[in-house]
Each structure stands twice: as structure tokens, then as C-alpha cells.
């Protein structure tokens, strides 16, 4: 019997990318909660598999050489799983390279910029107009890029749903936080509504969903954005 994938996660957009893939591909997996508000990301055992103290991370007990193999960085995890299971990862050009392009766009741009927009709009103790404008404008620009792409193709990589869509979709669930109206982005709206209805996506979004605290406590703030980041290593 195949040993389940060990998924280390928390209910955030980056975590949902991986649970969505595992649900879509029907891969057995075990969930380990990494409560980033409680500081679990600094646990020495977790740092062995995720040296950047961030979730998601995973261990494949049966790696390519038969030995356990661990990974961090959600994009790397998606590529590894897509290769291993041969799913959502087109084989031929141009779809294959388009998948890589749009996955990199999500990892290097869409995710980080939206993350900063969330940070300065929602979490920062001071409301800094320059930072709020900078990242809110960047979020709007990136949604326009996404909308244009989805006006020329059904999915980010072309005709087929791929890991590029799985990486991007969870981040788009909070578009209202960025003062965006979905009706201004009709191609994005079509794609969003379709993916949001996929049964495997719904299941992936349920992973640890009941563990997310409604409010950021002072301890959580310290673990996520404060001195814990620099002193606990």
C-alpha cells in the first residue's frame, strides 16, 4: 500500500494550493497542523523540512529513490506532486511552459504583492497611506493581468486546468479586501466561479478551515510579524 503524503499546513491561501491538488488528484494524505499564530513554524523538527519557517511543507515517505523526501515552497510542492502523479501538468509545448510561466507569476508576483496588500491594509498596526496605495494599486494591476490572460484562454495554461490555476485561485478568494469588484474583471469572474464550484476545491478549502482564529491575537502578531521572526531561530 502507498504511504500517504504528509502535509504540513494551515488554512491560508498557500496551504490550500496543496490540499486542493491532493483532493483533485485523489492522493491519500495526512494533515499536520502548523499553527503559525502559535509559533509552530519555529519548531526545530518543522525547520528540518521547512528551513524558511513557513508552511506549507510536505514529506513524501516514498520519494523518487524510495527514500522519504521533504519539500517546502508551495510552487515546488505543486510541481513535485504534478510530476509524481502525472496530473494537471501538461506534457507538450506550449501548455507545459505556459503552466510554468503562470505558476512563477503567481509565486513571484501575485501571491507576494497580495500578501503585502493584506498586510498593510488589514494587519499593520499603523495605516501607512504610501504602502496601502502601493500594494492596492499593484493588486489591481495584477488582477488586470489575470483577467486579460483569462480572456485569451480558458485556464492560465491554456485549454486545461493546471497547477497554475490551483496556485492562483486560493489567493483570489479575498479580492474584496483589495477594494476590487469582480464585475470589473469578467474573465476572472468566469474562471473564479467555475473553479470555486469544483468539488475537490471545496474539499481542499475545508482542510483545517475550522482552526483559523477569527482575530489576530497579540501573540500571533508577535509570531507572524514581530520579534519572534528574528529571535526564535
Binding site for ligand GSH (CB under 6 A): 12, 14, 36, 41, 53-56, 73-74, 224
Q: Give yes or no for a contact between 33 and 10, defined as CB atoms under 8 angstroms apart.
A: yes
What CA–CA distance (Å, rounded) separates 119 from 98?
A: 30
Give whichever of 55 and 82 is closer to ligand GSH, judged by the CB atom. 55
**Closer by beta carbon to ligand GSH, 59 or else 185:** 59
Nearest residue (beta carbon) to ligand GSH: 54
User: Tell me, what DSSP letter sits at residue 6?
Assistant: E
- Give 210-217 contacts, CB < 8 A, sequence gap 24+: 211/10, 211/11, 211/33, 211/35, 212/10, 212/11, 213/37, 216/37, 216/123, 217/37
Nearer to ligand GSH, 54 or 149 (CB): 54
Cross-strand bridge partners of residue 141? none
Nearer to ligand GSH, 74 or 136 (CB): 74
Minimum distance between the CB of residue 51 and ligand GSH, rounded to whole angstroms? 12
Cβ proximity to ligand GSH: between 56 and 204 the closer is 56
Helix (H) or strand (E) holding 72: strand 69-72
Torsion of CA 124, 130, 135, 136, to 10 degrees: 100
Q: How far is the CB of 107 from ligand GSH (least distance, A)?
A: 6
Smallest distance, Å, CB 121 to ligand GSH? 16
Is residue 4 a contact partner of residue 28, using CB atoms and an 8 Å limit? Answer: yes
Is the CB of residue 156 less than 8 Å from the CB of residue 150?
A: yes
184 or 206: whose CB is closer to ligand GSH?
A: 206
Order of strands, sheet of 57-60, starting from the edge strand that comes earlier in the sequence? 29-33, 5-9, 57-60, 69-72
Joined together, the cell numbers standing for residue 159 give 485549454
CB of 42 or CB of 85, closer to ligand GSH: 42
Amino acid at each position: 500500500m502507498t504511504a500517504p503524503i504528509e502535509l504540513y499546513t494551515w488554512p491560508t491561501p498557500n496551504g490550500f494550493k496543496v490540499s486542493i491538488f491532493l483532493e483533485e488528484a485523489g492522493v491519500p494524505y495526512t494533515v499536520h497542523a502548523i499553527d503559525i499564530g502559535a509559533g509552530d513554524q519555529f519548531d526545530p523538527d518543522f525547520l528540518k523540512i521547512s528551513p524558511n519557517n513557513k508552511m506549507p511543507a510536505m514529506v513524501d515517505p516514498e520519494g523518487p529513490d524510495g527514500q522519504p523526501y521533504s519539500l517546502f515552497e508551495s510552487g515546488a510542492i505543486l510541481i513535485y506532486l504534478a510530476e509524481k502523479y502525472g496530473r494537471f501538468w501538461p506534457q507538450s509545448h506550449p501548455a507545459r511552459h505556459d503552466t510554468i510561466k503562470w505558476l512563477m507569476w503567481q509565486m513571484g508576483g501575485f501571491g507576494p504583492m497580495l500578501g503585502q496588500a493584506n498586510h498593510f491594509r488589514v494587519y499593520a498596526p499603523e495605516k501607512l497611506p504610501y504602502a496601502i496605495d502601493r500594494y492596492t494599486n499593484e493588486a489591481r494591476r495584477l488582477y488586470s493581468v489575470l483577467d486579460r490572460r483569462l480572456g485569451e484562454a480558458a485556464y492560465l495554461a491554456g485549454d486545461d486546468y493546471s497547477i497554475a490555476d490551483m496556485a492562483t485561485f486560493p489567493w483570489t478568494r479575498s479580492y474584496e479586501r483589495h477594494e476590487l469588484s469582480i464585475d470589473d474583471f469578467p474573465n476572472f469572474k468566469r474562471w473564479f466561479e467555475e473553479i470555486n464550484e469544483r468539488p475537490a476545491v471545496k474539499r481542499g478549502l475545508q482542510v483545517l478551515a475550522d482552526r483559523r482564529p477569527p482575530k489576530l491575537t497579540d501573540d500571533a502578531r508577535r509570531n507572524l510579524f514581530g520579534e519572534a521572526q528574528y529571535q526564535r531561530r
